[in-house]
Structure 1
């Protein structure tokens, strides 16, 4: 009699455990539950992406500040007034319309002049 009671109780417990597991799985597979899980995963992915974007922006800003410092030192922008670089004597692009422009050669390079 004791043996039968033990196995009956064990069977009932296993049935209750299996039924509970199956019901939990079925609840997880309802459309509402699947939508909630997808929304949670999307929010988590959005937070991770935002964190990476912020880190990237900080890295870009740090690199930009470093490069600005290098360029400032190279151009003498941060130097005291007494140590500024000498002004350039010749412009990078000649302005032929300027009254200061003097043509050094005797030839005109206008191709249409001879025709």
Structure 2
């Protein structure tokens, strides 16, 4: 009798376990669940791709700076060159132009949005 009870209980437990497994799998295969899973995986892939792109950009920047230093040493370029003096332009006032600003003349508006 004990043997039959043991196998009956084992069968019931296996049936409950199998039923819950199948129900979970069916819930995972619904369209909503598949869409949610695909969306989550796409977001994760995007984050991984962004992290790799940032790492690549930092590596490129570091290697570029290193190569510039090497080229500067080889070519004998000073890393802190003296800058030339700023250029100065002479401003010539055009008195024949009616739009030039004078205290005794009338001035015109430069607003293009005004009605003319």
Q: Give the unaligned 5+ runs of structure 2.
A: 83-116
2:6 aligns with 6
Output aligned runs, 1:77-92, within 5 Å. 77-78=78-79
2:16 aligns with 16
Q: Give the unaligned 5+ runs of structure 1.
A: 82-115
2:86 aligns with none
Shift of 1:51: 1.1
Alignment partners' CA distance in 2, 1:15 and 1:5: 15
Shift of 1:56: 0.7
TM-score by length of 1: 0.61
1:68 aligns with 68
Tell me how many residue pairs correspond in the alignment. Answer: 81
Query: Does the C-alpha gap of structure 1 residues 80 and 20 become closer, same or farther in structure 2, counting only changes over 3 Å?
Result: closer
Query: Pairwise CA RMSD of aligned residues?
Result: 2.0
Output aligned runs, 1:85-104, within 5 Å. none
Query: Does the C-alpha gap of structure 1 residues 21 and 79 become closer, same or farther in structure 2, counting only changes over 3 Å?
Result: closer
Query: Does the C-alpha gap of structure 1 residues 79 and 21 become closer, same or farther in structure 2, counting only changes over 3 Å?
Result: closer
TM-score by length of 2: 0.61
2:100 aligns with none
Alignment partners' CA distance in 2, 1:58 and 1:78: 22
